[in-house]
Chain A
Amino acid sequence: MTDEDDDGAIAGGAGDDTDDVAAGADGDETRLSRRWRALDRGWQALCLGLAIVAAHLVIYPV
């Protein structure tokens, strides 16, 4: 089977498994990491994507 919910993802909230990674789940993690995990995957993708675009704006000015 596949756990690809592609859409799982897609739903962001639905079937979202951003918290399915055990590492650091014991509270032994930085505040940034905790905040990042608190976001659903849709928001994480949006933030990462915009950060990459912002970096390109700096590296390749018009």
Chain B
Amino acid sequence: MTLLDDFRPYVPGLVLLGGGALFATLLGGAVPGLQPLVVAVAVGVAVANTVGVPAVAEPGASLHKLALETGIVLLGAAIALEELVAAGPTVLGLVVVAVAGGLLLSEAVARGLFRIEGTTPSLLAAGASVCGVSAVVAVGRVLEARGAALTFAAATVLLFDAVTLVAFPLAGEWLGLTGRQFGVWAGLSMFSTGPVAAAGFAHSVEAGQWATVTKLARNSLLGGVAIAYSVAYAARSATEPEARELWAEFPKFLLGFLLVAAIANAGVLSPAAIESVTAVSDGLFLVAFVGLGLSIRVRELRAVGLAPVGVVLIHLLVVSALTLAAVRALL
């Protein structure tokens, strides 16, 4: 067995992702105003919901998440740390308030208004407030949630990922937000990192960078939120909160993003190198967004129940309205 043999199963899927990315680049370049990243998601959705993803391409197509995270690590090269540090405290403050407020809001709406019981309200709250399905899974693991509750919560979050991916860039355009305002707003309000980055870059490069950075700050709270839930459910949960658990939930690639940002801002990379690294990052985002589109199955999204949709819709409307007011006033 050689490395080449190990790599072979991934080739068909990578060709599919690469072909989609190439098509998106060509079409985006040919039609003025059309963002290649948006085309990439659309291509993925079209393929997945018409011909479907061939089984032979699934191993390679699953690498889109790795492409997204590696693209984010490399995005660090394009980030001006001075600007980040200047806006950092405000954005971090907004992130903490949005996550904490969002968790409390969703819990209250789910239990008080929709009378949903068990762990489902917590799964919905974590998914909507922190970082999508991974938060649902992480909190579900801590709370030992049932498989059905996990599935419903995850499907609800994913339904909103698909909707907000289209709605946010349109809203940002309509509201006349600057790139930074839109990026931070999307990073605070939307759920999963892929759609957040895609929506940000659909607006502008600056918005994409701010959306990604803001979302990363939100994601980094996942470990703390999982442990807070573990403590809150202590009577039911068999697991004890530990520092090890906090570390297990921490998004390690965030360290890579910070490291690359530090390297680039230290002047170690030449302008040509930064330009090339940024181009590689853009390419990885394209590939990742084709994969994101491939993972959206419209038929499965229709199966989501009305109560979870109601909870997450109220969360989204309230949080996005408040954070919109905040970014307009503060940024």
Is A38 part of the contact surface with B, judged by Cβ < 8 Å?
no
Interface size class of B (residues with CB under 8 A): 35 or more
User: CB-defined interface of B188-227 with A at 8 Å, one 1/0 digit per residue?
Assistant: 0001111110000000000000000001100100100010
A-contact bits for B1-42, CB 8 A (1 contact / 0 none): 111011011100000000000000000000000000000000
* Residues in A neighbouring B74, C-beta threshold 8 A: 49, 52-53
Binary interface profile of A, 1-44, with partner B (CB < 8 Å = 1, else 0)?
Answer: 11111111111111111101111100011101100000011111
| Majority-rule SS of A interface residues | loop
- Taking CB atoms, residues of chain B closer than 8 Å to A23 are 6, 8-10, 59
Task: From the candidates A14, A44, A49, name the one contacting B222 in the complex (CB within 8 A).
Answer: A14
B-contact 0/1 string along A44-58, CB 8 Å cutoff = 111111101100110
B147 at the interface (CB under 8 A from A): no
Among candidates A15, A24, A30, A45, residue contacting B72 with C-beta atoms closer than 8 Å: A45
- Given A2-B296, A62-B267, answer yes or no on A7-B133 (Cβ-Cβ < 8 Å): yes
A32, A56, A60, most chain B CB atoms within 10 A: A56
Asked if residues A45 and B253 are in contact (CB atoms below 8 Å), the reply is yes
Kindly state the separation between the CA atoms of A6 and B154 in the bound complex, as whole angstroms: 12
- Taking the complex as formed, is B248 at the interface, i.e. its CB lies under 8 A from any CB of chain A? yes
- Number of A residues near B (Cβ < 8 Å) is 47
CB-CB under 8 A from A10, the residues of chain B are: 69, 131-132, 134, 193, 216, 219, 222, 251, 253
Interface of B is mostly: helix
With known contacts A3-B295, A62-B268, A15–B137 Cβ distance under 8 A: yes
Chain B residues near A42 (CB-CB < 8 A): 69, 250-254
Do residues B73 and A1 form an inter-chain contact, with CB atoms below 8 A? Answer: no
B66, A44: Cβ atoms under 8 Å?
yes
Q: Which residue of chain B lies nearest to A22 when distances are taken between CB atoms in the complex? A: B59
Indicate if B103 sits at the interface (CB-CB under 8 A).
no
CB-CB nearest in chain A for B259: A50
| Nearest CB of chain B from residue A15's CB, rounded to whole Å | 4
Query: Nearest Cβ in chain B — how far from A33, in angstroms?
Result: 4
Shortest distance in angstroms between A50's beta carbon and chain B's nearest beta carbon? 6
**Residues of the B chain whose Cβ atoms lie less than 8 Å from the Cβ of A32:** 3, 6
Give, as a whole number of angstroms, the nearest-CB distance from A38 to chain B: 14
* Closest residue on chain A to residue B296 by CB atoms: A2
**CB of B88 closer than 8 Å to a CB of A:** no
The stretch that binds A, out of B93-101, B272-280, B322-330, is B272-280
Among A3, A12, A28, the residue within 8 A (CB) of B253 is A12
A4-B295, A17-B62, A33-B3 given. 16 additional CB < 8 A pairs?
A: A1-B155, A2-B292, A5-B65, A5-B154, A6-B161, A6-B193, A7-B135, A7-B215, A8-B133, A8-B137, A9-B65, A9-B69, A11-B134, A44-B69, A44-B70, A45-B70
**Sample (21) of A-B pairs whose CB atoms are under 8 Å apart:** A1-B297, A3-B133, A4-B158, A6-B133, A7-B192, A7-B215, A8-B65, A9-B69, A12-B249, A12-B252, A13-B248, A15-B138, A30-B2, A33-B6, A42-B252, A45-B69, A45-B70, A45-B72, A49-B260, A53-B269, A62-B273
Nearest first, the 9 closest Cβ-Cβ pairs linking A and B are A49-B73, A42-B252, A23-B9, A45-B69, A46-B256, A14-B138, A7-B131, A5-B133, A1-B300
